[in-house]
Chain A
Amino acid sequence: MQPLGRANTNTFIEITDIVAHGDLAYVCTAVRGLSIFDTSGEAPALLVEKVAPGGNLSNSQFPRCQHVGFDPDTSRIVITNRGDEVQPNPWLAVYDVSDPRRPEVLGGWSPAFGSIEGVAIRGSRIFAAVHGQGLVALELAGDEVTETARALEEGTDAWQPVLRNDLLALADGEAGLRLYDVSAGDPQLLSTVALTGSSRDVLLEDDRAYVASSGGIAIVDVADPNAPVVLGEHPVSGSALDLAQLGPRQIVVAEWDALRGYDLTDPAEPVPLFSETVPTDDTFSRVLAVGAVADRARVFGGEWTGLHAFAFSPSPGPELDLSPSSLQFGNVQPSDPDARVLLVSNSGTRPLTVHDVTGSADVTVDETCFVVEPGRSRAIEVQLDPSSTAPIQSSVRVCSDDPDEPNLEVPLTANVSGLAVGDPAPAFALQDLEGNTWTLADLEGKVAVLAYFATF
């Protein structure tokens, strides 16, 4: 894919869901509520942000949005929030977005139970996935949203519903895929398909459902929704979080570490189309959400700090990928060189020719010209031999015949301030959830993996 640009956000907003339609993208963020972008140009342009109902439903200081559903026939959207310490009650709100610069709230709803995740809307009918419980049907009448029916399956982790005619498909966590008849007011469960992992998102295309789960992607024949058939299940490189349709039998998956496209014409043999790491100003990228507009060949990836636009080319070709995304050397002394491995991969469908690999004067690489077959990688050694102990912030550049991104760079750092590889790890003493105290000294002689994070 060809990167087109990034929206004008460089702060932590955490994009969690994207619906792209026509020249607009409706984007949920965990920090700034719903944002709407004009995507007619190359870089998405922000039209409005912090859209949230306020009042009793949401915290106006920290508007949050987790999922969005869209009905193109009525220009209505629904946004949801699952409820947390910032906004204690889960809620959903319906908007008229006929004028995308001025969304008009039509109604809202906050249940006394559960945690709302994904949502679908058609006209005045709304279907919400209630995490931990199941599916709720709602109706917008006047300015009121009222519950009309529940199809709750106790203990399930409903994530995302999607509608096609009278069929509703629900990505239902550990339960897999559930299919409902929603021709009447009360959703009728037709079938349940057990799938590998926890199902999180679903698409419907003709007689097929595509499901994203912690186990990868699944292709299910739903021509007879009373007796669906699993056509294929395939692990993916990352963790499949969100799906969008690229074209007939082609999907793009937000896989946490990258956007990856697949041709699923043969459900037994998915063909990788691309693997696109979302570029950031920072040293990391977390792709949580994806949207696509097939007839414009546009893909939109949402990560923690921005919305990125790409042009998708369905034609086959080589695709250059580099791993790791940065080369960190820690402290390196003059005349005592150190080396790191850089993995050059081809996630395309044709052989990739690398013409050159270059770095700064104190960097040497063991290979500069080679060919990588589709689906294969070449490990090259990057050696750093600095002339002083001054901090180094440079890069290694790889030049290839990738038609979209022929030249990619990986940042290289060494001798930077703060803790670095090779330094003694600082001691700590902290309690776990059971009240047991852990110290680093307890782990002496072992290999310890420490994963620092925060839940919001």
Chain B
Amino acid sequence: MLGLSGRGLFGNESTSTLAGFVDQTGVSFPILRGDNTYFDYADPDGAISPFPLDVIVGPDGNIAYLRREFDLDAMVMTIDRLLPQ
């Protein structure tokens, strides 16, 4: 699993902020940092948030799951389907 983070609301978020996030939450997966900000993806009024977004890519490199709402059941079902039995 990879976490991919944008640079906060305004693009001035430091790497140390992300490191603090990792410390506080205890996440163990790698966190990758992009250069875009929240407003690069949000609509002009901010009414539709681009985050969070969960994507599952299958062994063939194709998208098997793509959803902005966190749905653990659907993600587990997708992973179970993709993993070798």
Q: Which residues of A contact B (CB under 8 A)?
A: 10-12, 84-86, 157, 256-257, 281-286, 304-305, 323-326, 328, 330, 341, 343, 419-425, 428, 430-433, 436, 438, 440, 443-456
Contacts and interface: CB of A to CB of B under 8 A. Distances in A.
Given A283-B67, A330-B66, A449-B75, 20 more contacts: A85-B8, A86-B10, A283-B69, A325-B69, A326-B67, A419-B63, A420-B66, A425-B57, A433-B18, A444-B61, A447-B58, A447-B64, A449-B79, A450-B4, A451-B2, A451-B4, A451-B52, A452-B5, A454-B5, A454-B7
Contacts of A324: 67, 69, 71, 73-74
Interface of B: 1-10, 12-15, 17-19, 21-22, 24, 29-34, 37-38, 42, 45-59, 61-75, 77, 79, 82-83
A103 to B, nearest CB: 25
Contacts of A451: 1-4, 29, 52-54
B11 to A, nearest CB: 10
Nearest first, the 4 closest Cβ-Cβ pairs linking A and B are A284-B69, A430-B32, A452-B53, A454-B6
A365 B37 CA distance: 41
B57 A452 contact: no
Contacts of A432: 30-33
Contacts of A304: 49
A433 B69 contact: no
A272 to B, nearest CB: 17
B17 A343 contact: no
Contacts of B5: 452-455
24 contacts: A12-B47, A84-B17, A86-B9, A283-B68, A286-B70, A324-B67, A420-B66, A425-B55, A428-B32, A432-B32, A433-B33, A438-B2, A438-B30, A448-B56, A449-B1, A450-B2, A452-B5, A452-B50, A452-B53, A453-B4, A454-B6, A454-B37, A455-B8, A455-B13
Interface centre among A157, A286, A330, A450 (most CB of B within 10 A): A450
Contacts of B67: 283, 324, 326, 328
Contacts of A421: 63-66
Nearest to A257: B70
A119 B85 CA distance: 50
A10 B18 CA distance: 28
A159 to B, nearest CB: 11
